Structure 1
């Protein structure tokens, strides 16, 4: 098609002309630049996970409504679905807005946010709201939020920024600095108590050290210290000991223990077989505690089958693989570490949740990213995904290679 014919075609279709002007190759608007640079495959994976999460919450909402209804107070069957839909509407602009930030602005935003939420995390054991024996939330009016959920992506970016200085000077003490900060976060989390989040922070830190090129001798030493920390947690930390004991030595007569929850989750997960009972057909889910949060993966298995569970697992795997493939030729140490850390956080949290639901790991009270119900959690995840999209943005007309970056227009 000639240029004259193309121009005539655009004039004949005003909608197409507006789209071409805002997101086309020659677009110069902020939206056009963002759409040109963003990893659209990564964005699509995130949107698919959110959409599947809404379907999963819709399936779990009736069971949760029945469990939390009492006396004259009857919770509508789809109440949790509508609340989650509202949180998704509020969270999506957060993800898009953060993803539009330049890498430098996103880094500064994350550093400032990490400082704020670290202070809030340290204040949680003192001023937090206690729910089910844990003090992990801070009350704000009629709702609560969990500072550790917001701190995770922000702290990962801050840790990546500190470790990136090693590329300029290998002698800088970046390992002890980041290790001390991670240990501080871990100690505060153990006071809440929140053993699962402690594992996430520690594991991501070790992953970032490996990517940063820390020597194998130091990594072996840290691995030994980590194993010793788990043993110490079992000996001195009641929450860890109870959960490990109930997992390794379950009491078949106990009810509403961690063993009961994981056993029931496994039963719900496999009740639907390969294809599931169909939407609304699940019945065992009504016996499952926290069906809309920690054990929503089991609800998906009952109503939509093991095929749907496998599809969700593959989406998380695709997210992590996509990020690492995109980072293969990344030359900026900070962007490499930040994006890799954020991807590992999402993948590891999903892996732990699935392991608990399938009965191969003890209960940790950890939700499935983008799938489980939760307002502040959805906003925090959208914030982290927005940072991940911001740090993986690329100009498509620049070709990267080991010999530098060149224009490919």
Structure 2
């Protein structure tokens, strides 16, 4: 009856995979992701050369590695974006289990690379950060629990997801990795809200987070130093924040010119945590606004598609993935312009890092798969636009 009134949805189960994928994928979001990676490669040509020279490597050593890791991440993203929501859930659950077990094993097999926090596992030829791969799987598992709670006589999925979140947040805070812990907690709170849960537990979670931050400030010299530096009226020009702030001011609207920036020679993390400072100095506010616009395209397009999604799991998981992606970018850029305390978080698809770009590819692959146009979503959109009788 629906087809007689509104017409058939242009989706045939017998279609080849690639044409069906191309017809249903969010092309704007997909294009924005590839553009972000292109911007990251462009900035890497400038930001990573000083580090390569310092380490006695060829000038474009890190650029080549980023191209390799980025290629893997984009291939993984496209492959995962072809999956159905059911397949996304299965892959996400398995991936989460592996990442969670690896995270719990960090005190035994992990390393800190002299940075004071045991966050990485070294493979000799490369290293990876389990918490990066934990995030997309965590969103999928939490969404699965919350969606199950909406079923008749379903399990207490929201409670299970809260217990899981608390365990992960405490584990990350003990590393210490307060940036990733905050992002995990925020993602859970967003999904909890979208699942239709009462507001009181969210207020309680916010209060516990504030209490945890207060304890961390009083018990961790590392956290206290970063917060005090953030709250200080004056910025020490010899710190990373000082160099980044000066670079952004020097760049102005159009930048000092390609390759003419100096901050990349002063900042040890210019190619990772403070890549936006390099962009602002050499290319100016114009490029920074362009980067922000690309992130906004991915997040807003995904959220707009989630509004028409009728599957609870897909709606909750898609919203969580979109917010996690956007908030991570917001935190990275907020730190660079001194709107937030330093957290050591990469800019997805733009900063250098194998773990970051591959994990981002997994997360965006899940997101693109969940935001693909499906028959029931198209029918819901048509019904929603139908004029009132």
TM-score by length of 1: 0.86
Contact map agreement 2:26 2:372 (CA 8 A) in 1: yes
- Residue 58 of structure 1 aligns with which residue? 45
With over 3 angstroms needed to count, the CA separation of the structure-2 counterparts of 1:287 and 1:389, relative to structure 1, is same
Contact map agreement 2:309 2:377 (CA 8 A) in 1: no
3-state SS of paired residue (1:75): coil
- d(CA) in 1 for partners of 2:125 and 2:308? 47
- Residue 280 of structure 1 aligns with which residue? 259
- Residue 293 of structure 1 aligns with which residue? 272
- Residue 150 of structure 1 aligns with which residue? 133
Q: Which is worse superposed, 179-188 or 350-359?
A: 179-188
- Residue 224 of structure 2 aligns with which residue? 241
Bigger radius of gyration, 1 or 2? Answer: 1
- d(CA) in 1 for partners of 2:78 and 2:356? 17
Contact map agreement 1:129 1:136 (CA 8 A) in 2: yes
- Residue 43 of structure 1 aligns with which residue? 30
Could you list the structure 1 runs, at least 4 aligned residues long, displaced by more than 3 angstroms after superposition: 24-27, 169-172, 249-255, 395-398, 402-405
Count of residue pairs brought into register by the alignment: 374
Q: CA deviation at 1:399?
A: 2.8
Q: CA deviation at 1:171?
A: 7.5
- d(CA) in 2 for partners of 1:170 and 1:254? 60
With over 3 angstroms needed to count, the CA separation of the structure-2 counterparts of 1:102 and 1:253, relative to structure 1, is closer
Measured against aligned partners, the alpha-carbon deviations of 1:95-142 in whole angstroms (never above 9, x if no partner) come to: 111111121111101001101110100111221012211210011232
- d(CA) in 1 for partners of 2:38 and 2:235? 37
Q: CA deviation at 1:251?
A: 7.8
3-state SS of paired residue (2:112): strand
Q: CA deviation at 1:221?
A: 2.0
| 2:97 counterpart of 1:115 | yes
- d(CA) in 1 for partners of 2:158 and 2:381? 27
Measured against aligned partners, the alpha-carbon deviations of 1:199-236 in whole angstroms (never above 9, x if no partner) come to: 10011111111111111222222222222221122122
| 2:292 counterpart of 1:309 | no
| 2:66 counterpart of 1:84 | yes
With over 3 angstroms needed to count, the CA separation of the structure-2 counterparts of 1:163 and 1:77, relative to structure 1, is same
Contact map agreement 1:99 1:388 (CA 8 A) in 2: yes
- d(CA) in 1 for partners of 2:133 and 2:235? 38
- d(CA) in 1 for partners of 2:38 and 2:155? 44
Measured against aligned partners, the alpha-carbon deviations of 1:316-371 in whole angstroms (never above 9, x if no partner) come to: 12211111111111100000011110110110000000010001111111000000
- d(CA) in 2 for partners of 1:187 and 1:401? 41
| 2:209 counterpart of 1:226 | yes
- Residue 128 of structure 1 aligns with which residue? 110
- d(CA) in 2 for partners of 1:160 and 1:398? 19
Q: 2:322 aligns with which of 343, 360, 363?
A: 343
Q: 2:302 aligns with which of 313, 318, 323?
A: 323
- d(CA) in 2 for partners of 1:304 and 1:352? 21
| 2:385 counterpart of 1:399 | no
With over 3 angstroms needed to count, the CA separation of the structure-2 counterparts of 1:383 and 1:59, relative to structure 1, is same
Q: Which is worse superposed, 77-86 or 155-164?
A: 77-86
The structure with the greater share of residues assigned to strand is 1
3-state SS of paired residue (1:107): helix
Contact map agreement 1:129 1:135 (CA 8 A) in 2: yes
Q: CA deviation at 1:250?
A: 7.2
3-state SS of paired residue (1:63): helix
3-state SS of paired residue (1:400): helix
TM-score by length of 2: 0.90
- Residue 163 of structure 1 aligns with which residue? 146
Stretches of structure 2 that go unaligned for 5 or more consecutive residues are: 1-10, 385-389
